Amino acid sequence: MELRVSAVVTALLLRLTCTGAHQPPGEPAYDPGLPPDLHSPHGSLWPLPQTVVISSMVYRLSSVTFQIVHSAESTASVGCSILDNAFRRYYYYIFGSSTGSSQRQATLNSTGGRGPGPGELRQLQVTITSSDPECNQHPRITSSEAYEITVAQPAATLKSETVWGALRGLETFSQLVYEDEYITHLINKTEITDAPRFSHRGVLLDTSRHYLPIKVILKTLDAMSFNKFNVFHWHIVDDPSFPYQSVTFPKLSEQGAYHPVTHIYTLKDVQTVIEYARERGIRVIPEFDTPGHTQSWKGQSNLLTPCYNGEKPSGTFGPINPALNTTYDFMNQFFKEISWVFPDKYIHLGGDEVNFACWKSNPTITEFMKKQGFGSDYRKLESFYVKNVLDIVTSNLKGYIVWQEVFDNRVKIKSDTVVEVWMARNMKAELSKVTLAGFTTILAAPWYLDYISYGQDWQKYYQVEPLNFNGTVAQKKLVIGGEACLWGEFVDATNLASRLWPRASAVGERLWSSEETKDLNDAYKRLTKHRCRMVQRGIPAEPLFVGYCDYEYKDYKEFN
Report, as residue numbers or ranges, the catalytic residues: 353
Query: How many residues comprise the chain?
Result: 560
Residues 6+ apart with CB under 8 A from 307: 313, 314, 316, 317, 318, 357, 358, 361, 362
Q: Would you put residue 353 in left (φ > 0), alpha (ψ -120 to 50) or beta? A: left
Distance CA(252)–CA(455), nearest Å, equals 42
Residues 6+ apart with CB under 8 A from 462: 506, 507, 509, 510, 518, 520, 523
Residues 6+ apart with CB under 8 A from 118: 57, 58, 59, 60, 186
Cis peptide before 343 (omega within 30 of 0): no
Contact between 191 and 471 under an 8 Å Cβ cutoff? The reply is no
Contact between 68 and 93 under an 8 Å Cβ cutoff? The reply is no
- The string of DSSP codes covering 251-279 is HHHHHHSSSTTTS-B-HHHHHHHHHHHHT
Contact between 44 and 526 under an 8 Å Cβ cutoff? The reply is yes
Residues 6+ apart with CB under 8 A from 255: 242, 298, 299
Residues 6+ apart with CB under 8 A from 315: none
Residue type, 480: I
Q: Of all helices (H) and strands (E), which one includes residue 510? A: helix 503-512
In the chain, the N- to C-terminal Cα span, in Å, equals: 37
Distance CA(243)–CA(247), nearest Å, equals 12
Beta bridge partners of 263: none
Q: Label each residue of 61-78 as H, E or C.
A: ECCCCCEEEECCCCCCCC
Contact between 417 and 365 under an 8 Å Cβ cutoff? The reply is no
User: What is the torsional sign of CA 315, 320, 326, 331?
Assistant: positive
Contact between 239 and 228 under an 8 Å Cβ cutoff? The reply is no
Percent composition of the chain: helix, strand, coil (DSSP 3-state, to 5):
35, 20, 45
Beta bridge partners of 233: 204, 285
Instruction: Report DSSP state, residue 30.
Output: P
Residue 123 sits at φ, ψ, to 5 deg, of -145, 150
Distance CA(92)–CA(88), nearest Å, equals 6
Which is it for strands 548-549 and 18-19: parallel, antiparallel or unpaired? antiparallel
Distance CA(258)–CA(270), nearest Å, equals 18
Contact between 208 and 523 under an 8 Å Cβ cutoff? The reply is no
